[in-house]
Amino acid sequence: MVALVGTMTSTATAMGGGMDRPMDRPAPGMPDHSRMSDGSVWINTDIITIMANNNLPQFHFWYTADEDGSHVRFSTSYVMLVEFEDLNDDQAYQSNELLYFAPLAAYEWTLTTGEITEGDITTEVWLKYTKSGVKTSMPEMSLAALDGMGDIQRFSDVTLQIWAHIYLEDYTGEITDDHGVHFNYTVAGRSELKMDIEIGNFPFSSENSSVAIQTLQRENEALDGQNVHRHRIETRERFRNVTIDSDMNWTTTGGNETRFERMDCSQCQRMDFVDSETGIAQGFYSWIDTAVITWPGGETEAVNVTASYIPLGDGVAVYLAYPYFDDGSILHDPSIGLYPEGAPSVGVQLDFVLIAGIGGVALLALLVVLVRKK
């Protein structure tokens, strides 16, 4: 039912022991980025640290104050490209509507980075994933409930780009088309990574088919191994709040994906990762429910984005579904990020405890000697 492709192997590689990481830290608040020897890219602010996988679009993120994410660590992976036919007319993807799919790990990806500065101040850091052709050798992949590798060649010429930005200050943007402004949004400075997903040259089977991207949201990645399924996932929908335990698994039968209902008075939908012990929201994945199609000739049109989800037992698959845009392209804006007020208490560092303990013992010994001399 869900193709979880390449994510387990890539995660294990990226998260393994002796992790290659930048030793320096940015100035307070200022975004910075580094490329490691394994090709991964690290972005740092005083609030969030993000590690981007070099092999496929995958982001691990945690609080900068939480060294290496040993207490709280999340990830967002872009896993699969899908063509489907909306049989139940809900505008969302369910697995029993699948026509064709392809794992994104089967394609070559180029990861580039850059920054924007004003004077001596870095105001924006960006990174960009760009899809190219099929890999000459297939990576080790993990598939669940879908037989085979999908239709890799069918989607080989699809253009797909994920351009992600983090800003020093809050950033305000607009969703616009030829008919005007449809929505204004704000990206939180230093704590939110805003992405632009652009898809083009998609081989639609008919005017009745749609496109979906499967993302995988995970919260049980803390390096100390003690935080498995620590968070619950909460989202506010049109008529109610929805809570999902992160160890739920709905993958027993096809078509279990549930459509997100649009939140009241908002075009920005959001899933929060809430600490089950404290009730504090720490991380999130969000998306705007409007995308913009650019048609041949340059005309632009704002269209609805409908999302569905399914818990997998070790994460939640979220499907972002886009309508038909044959011979054109579509642009959409999701985000990942952290709530600064949700930062965990990481406690006193061990080396400080040791130094303080040794100092205390030395001081006590000195006092004993002085007392005896008297």
Predicted confidence (pLDDT) at residue 371 exceeds the cutoff of 60: no
Whole-number pLDDT of residue 16 = 45
Predicted confidence (pLDDT) at residue 171 exceeds the cutoff of 50: yes
Characterize the bridge pairing of strands 241-245 and 231-236. Answer: antiparallel
- State the Cα angle at 144 between 139 and 146, rounded to 5°: 95
State mean pLDDT over 277-304.
Answer: 95
Predicted confidence (pLDDT) at residue 66 exceeds the cutoff of 50: yes
Question: What pTM was computed for the model?
Answer: 0.86
pLDDT tens by residue, 227-278: 667 888 888 766 678 888 878 888 876 678 988 887 666 678 999 999 988 9
**% pLDDT > 70, the chain:** 78
Whole-number pLDDT of residue 23 = 65
Predicted confidence (pLDDT) at residue 101 exceeds the cutoff of 70: yes
Run of H or E residues at 42: strand 41-44
Long-range pairs, 344-353, Cβ under 8 A, ≥24: 344/63, 344/66, 344/71, 344/72, 344/275, 344/282, 346/65, 346/66, 346/67, 346/70, 346/71
Nearest residue to 219 (alpha-carbon basis) of 244, 188, 189, 252: 244
Predicted confidence (pLDDT) at residue 289 exceeds the cutoff of 80: yes
Comparison of pLDDT for 81 and 68, the residue scoring more: 81
Predicted confidence (pLDDT) at residue 347 exceeds the cutoff of 70: no
What is the average pLDDT value for the chain, to the nearest integer? 84
- CA–CA distance, 43 with 62 (Å, rounded to integer): 11
pLDDT-derived band at 341 (thresholds 50, 70, 90) equals very high
pLDDT tens by residue, 12-37: 445 544 456 676 656 667 899 999 99
State mean pLDDT over 80-98.
Answer: 95
CB burial of 264-302 (b: ≥16 within 10 Å; e: otherwise) equals eeebbbbbbbbbeeeeebbbbbbbbbbbbbbeeeeeebb
CB atoms closer than 10 angstroms to residue 245: 11
Sort 148 into a burial class: Cβ within 10 Å, 0-12 / 13-18 / 19+.
exposed
State mean pLDDT over 43-49.
Answer: 96
Whole-number pLDDT of residue 21 = 67
- CA–CA distance, 264 with 16 (Å, rounded to integer): 42
CB 172 within 8 A of CB 183: no
- Lowest pLDDT segment from 108-117, 262-271, 277-286, 295-304: 262-271
Predicted confidence (pLDDT) at residue 130 exceeds the cutoff of 70: yes
Whole-number pLDDT of residue 226 = 64
pLDDT tens by residue, 154-165: 999 999 999 999
Comparison of pLDDT for 238 and 221, the residue scoring more: 221
Predicted confidence (pLDDT) at residue 11 exceeds the cutoff of 60: no
Nearest residue to 155 (alpha-carbon basis) of 196, 110, 212: 212
Predicted confidence (pLDDT) at residue 348 exceeds the cutoff of 60: no
Predicted confidence (pLDDT) at residue 93 exceeds the cutoff of 60: yes
Residue 119, phi-psi category: left (phi > 0), alpha (psi -120 to 50), beta (remainder): left
